[in-house]
Amino acid sequence: MKLSLFATLTLATLTGAAHADDADKVREATKAETDAFNARIYAGAPGDKAYACFVRRYDAEHLARHPKQKVAAMKLLISAESDNEDKQLHNSFRFGFKYRHRPGDFDSSGSCGSHVLLQNHDGEVRLGCGVDCEGGGIEVALSKDDKSAIVRLVQIRVWQNNKPDDEAEQSLVAGADDKIFRLDRADTSECASLVTDRKELAALRHK
């Protein structure tokens, strides 16, 4: 099965030229595989709309063991909504974090489309999410017990304190200790700070 256009663009963004050979190890998941992954990430059949929240606050002991890690805290909200036109479930993401040695809150967001990617070499299923206009992105997998999200990134465009202007725009670039993050599943209220729309915020808090 050929990768969809979105999946191909997301893959190219995330792997980069140095990892071009990895493209041969990735395929678009089947509908059954996608449905199974969605049920895992949303802890049940998502219906017309669903949310999943994952959070990690790194303590002093962890940061001492990883002196090159730039990120001190991270939140990830994955959302699903059924599209009335194509009748498929479309995923999106909101991502927030704090730097270890810099003040302020940083965030990003984008689309994950309606399909997931499957890594052929180990059978791991990942959700490929991208930021518009070549803004990079993330891949999201799940731990075997579905209690944690495994977030991988190469580079992603972010904004400080939710300001989407050119002057505030920056990027989080993966370093020695900032390539893979394990975030724990949390109540959706933990990710409320990532939502700015009042109606969506109300829906989130009632989940």
pLDDT at 169: 67
Of 159, 155, 124, 149, whose CA–CA distance to 137 is shortest?
155
Do 191 and 83 contact (CB within 8 A), yes or no? Answer: no
Q: Is the pLDDT of residue 18 over 60?
A: no
User: pTM for this structure?
Assistant: 0.83
Q: Write down the pLDDT at residue 163.
A: 65
Over residues 85-100, the pLDDT tens digits come to 777 888 999 999 999 9
Indicate if the pLDDT at residue 76 is higher than 60: yes
Q: Please give the residue that has the higher pLDDT: either 63 or 14.
A: 63
Cβ atoms of 49 and 81 within 8 Å: the answer is yes
Residue predicted with more confidence, 143 or 31: 143
> Which of the two residues, 56 and 177, has the higher pLDDT score?
56
Type of residue at 89: L
Enumerate the β-bridge partners of residue 203: none
Q: How far apart are CA 115 and CA 38, in angstroms?
A: 10
Spatial distance between the Cα atoms of 2 and 182, rounded to a whole number of angstroms: 30
Question: Model confidence at 12, in pLDDT bands (50, 70, 90)?
Answer: very low
CA distance 185 to 207: 14
Residues 6+ apart with CB under 8 A from 1: 27, 28, 30
Is 70 exceeded by the pLDDT of residue 64?
yes
123 vs 25: CA distance, rounded Å: 10
> Mean pLDDT across the stretch 128-151?
93
Is the confidence at residue 135, as pLDDT, over 50?
A: yes
Overall average pLDDT of the 41-59 stretch: 93
Give the mean pLDDT of 104-130: 86
**Residue 171 in tokens:** 């990027």
User: Can you give the pLDDT at residue 84?
Assistant: 76
Q: Which of 6-15, 123-132, 146-155, 179-188 has the lowest mean pLDDT?
A: 6-15
